[in-house]
Structure 1
Amino acid sequence: MFHSPYKWCFLVLVIASPLFVWGGPDLYSHRLLTELWNLGHLVFFALFVVLLDHYWYSQQRSKFFRIFATLIVLLSIGLTTELIQFGIAGRYFSWIDLCRDISGGFIVLFWKISQKEARVQGALFRLIALLLLCINMIPLLKISFDTYHSYREFPLLAGFEHKTELSRWDGLARLSLDSQIHLQGNYSGKIELGTEQYSGVFLNQFPRNWSNHKALSFNVYNPGPSLQLHYRVHDNLHSGDFQDFSNRFNGSSVLDHGWNEIIIPMADILHGPQNRKMNLDKIQSFGIFVVQQKDKRIIYIDNVRLQQ
């Protein structure tokens, strides 16, 4: 039935279209899986332009028409899909995804145009197509680089020696590298805490199996007066339990001025949930935060690690 490659493209597009609103990775999915999923925008619209430009070319449209008409179509469809996702729970509008949509289409379009151009012009169009492809592959390469380092450095979970480490973290507080205050290496993580009800950072990307270790420890530098710091650890079962407070490990410590070392025995994490034991081989997140601070504060975190 589907003998023409264009028919196969059409079939793939029809099957893949629902994925814009259904399925996909969540917050705790592996970063590589998430980035590969995001690159689906690139692939989808590349295939779409294979069909679209086949039609333009069959109508003997000029090169300039194909470029500008394709841009308008890609913008229209890309914006529409992003606006639809904006109204769906768990989805959001993303300018980056819109750029991926346009890039995917123009990688194919410029490459096809280059086949019919003179040598110099054709090389220019191919160069632009390759640049677009390389730019869109940069996030995947960065994540691959940091994933390699995270497994190589384990049981160190975060040493803040590479800027790519910041992609392991999430949260409302701003996190950046700082070279002035650090305990090990040349950098620490500078956390700018706000006055929201909960302000902090969460480490979501790391090797999940903590079962062979005796403690989780980290160091925090407090440049100001004493501060109550809360921390939490949860596993895969907590993620599907509406973030119930009693279904995870919760703790807190008072940070004195200067460096503070916090050590959490793995036994405490194991028995953190009230009615069960923590899945130590499926840990998904570790977070530190403050609660309803009157003033903005800055703290520095370093040497987040598991102890044998």
Structure 2
Amino acid sequence: MALRPGDSGLRQLDLNLLPVFAALMRERSVTRAGQALFLSQPATSAALARLRAFFRDELFIRNGNALEPTPRAEALMAELEPALQSVAGAISGATPFDPATDTRTFRIGMSEDVGLAIIPLLPRLRAAAPHCRVVIRAANYLTIPGLLDAGEIGTAIGYFEDLPAAAKQRVLRRDGFRVLRDATSPGPIDLESYCARPHLLVTPRGDLTGFVDELLKQMGRRRQVVLGMPEFGLLPQTLLGSDLLCVVSEALVEALMATKYGAMLAADPPPFPCPDSVIRMAWRTALDHDPGEVWLRAQLIHWLTRRG
């Protein structure tokens, strides 16, 4: 006899946890399962804790460096694996997509600097999918996880690491940073002039310190941030005619150099080692096989991973 949702407990279970369970069964490791699903280790561990609480079973017991499934976990996997495969197949074939005729709405969350790089792509999307609508939400590493989890956006692009269990991600590009300045101001920038010049910091939270200040502190140096502003779009007009410096990602430099301000700006390598600037794309697991979302992600990936 088929169980009704109320009888089976489906109403109480977050179904997004099931891919995590399947990955744990395959990988027998929280770390490797998280990597397979593009989740951080803390997010995967939290999902496992929720699974244990729901099923009232340990599910996996550590045996040396591996996780051994309990009899309850083995029984669950035997029942769930065919169902998960059926659901994935149904999703992939349930919503055909023709960009020339489809009328759906795409919702994308992205940080503002990434948004500046995306702007030239928008007319191309419009030409390829003339009846579709695109809604872009301002989002950052603090808000992207919640927006994805709530289903308010289908795709996110920006700088982030921890994501909800119901999301997948991939790295789009790894870049360095550059020191942006008015092209008529002295340059290139060495460490002495960098520390002596005034600085601009894009700071949505309103603070006046960033990762550069931590790097300089480790070197026994410091800089003076004299101006904080909330938006990257204000950078060109603010830097022009001043001796201000601002550290930005190479992706943003490319976007700004393609504007009317490009010839008036200069970008120097930072005079100290910097970490990579990593732009990631994330999307809801439920949309992993949706043909329209797959098409949109392909357009975004092609645009953001190109060089030159």
TM-score w.r.t. the length of structure 2 is 0.25
Bigger relative contact order (CA 8 A; separation at least 6): 2
TM-score w.r.t. the length of structure 1 is 0.25
